[in-house]
């Protein structure tokens, strides 16, 4: 079931357009969300979500747009990306805290 029926990204609020967009599962597919609620977001917003949160965090704590948007790192990102063209894209780096967990 797809939640976002508007033509704006629910994360950054910019127009979605036709380039660099993807579907984000609010509950990760690996955590049982394969047929769950999804939203259409810019690729850069999607990558930011997955660079900040682990799959477990997304499943347990950050499984709605509202919950994602209250996180400090997402708020900083939104403030920065809001000034960019809707088709703007660049890879996000993996946050240090995630790298440490994998070691």
Predicted confidence (pLDDT) per residue in 16-55, tens digit = 988 889 999 999 999 988 999 999 999 999 999 999 999 9
Residues in Cβ contact with 28 at an 8 Å cutoff, skipping those fewer than 6 apart: 55, 58, 59
Reported confidence tier of residue 99, pLDDT bands at 50, 70, 90: very low
What is the arithmetic mean of pLDDT over 85-103?
A: 59
Q: Where are the domains of the chain?
A: 1-88
Residues in Cβ contact with 35 at an 8 Å cutoff, skipping those fewer than 6 apart: 1
pLDDT at 101 over 50: no
Predicted confidence (pLDDT) per residue in 55-86, tens digit = 999 999 999 999 999 999 999 999 999 988 77
pLDDT at 4 over 50: no
Structural tokens at position 89:
């894209």
Reported confidence tier of residue 89, pLDDT bands at 50, 70, 90: confident
What pLDDT is stored for residue 93 in this prediction?
59
Specify the residue for token string 């997304």: 58
What pLDDT is stored for residue 91 in this prediction?
66
């Amino acid at each position: 079931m797809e939640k976002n029926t508007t033509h704006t990204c629910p994360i950054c609020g910019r127009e979605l357009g036709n380039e660099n967009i993807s579907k984000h599962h609010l509950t990760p597919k690996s955590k049982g969300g394969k047929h769950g609620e999804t939203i259409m977001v810019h690729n850069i917003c999607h990558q930011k979500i997955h660079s900040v949160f682990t799959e477990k965090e997304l499943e347990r704590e950050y499984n709605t747009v509202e919950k994602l948007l209250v996180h400090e790192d997402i708020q900083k990102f939104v403030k920065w990306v809001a000034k960019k063209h809707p088709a703007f894209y660049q890879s996000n780096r993996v946050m240090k805290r995630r790298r440490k967990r994998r070691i």
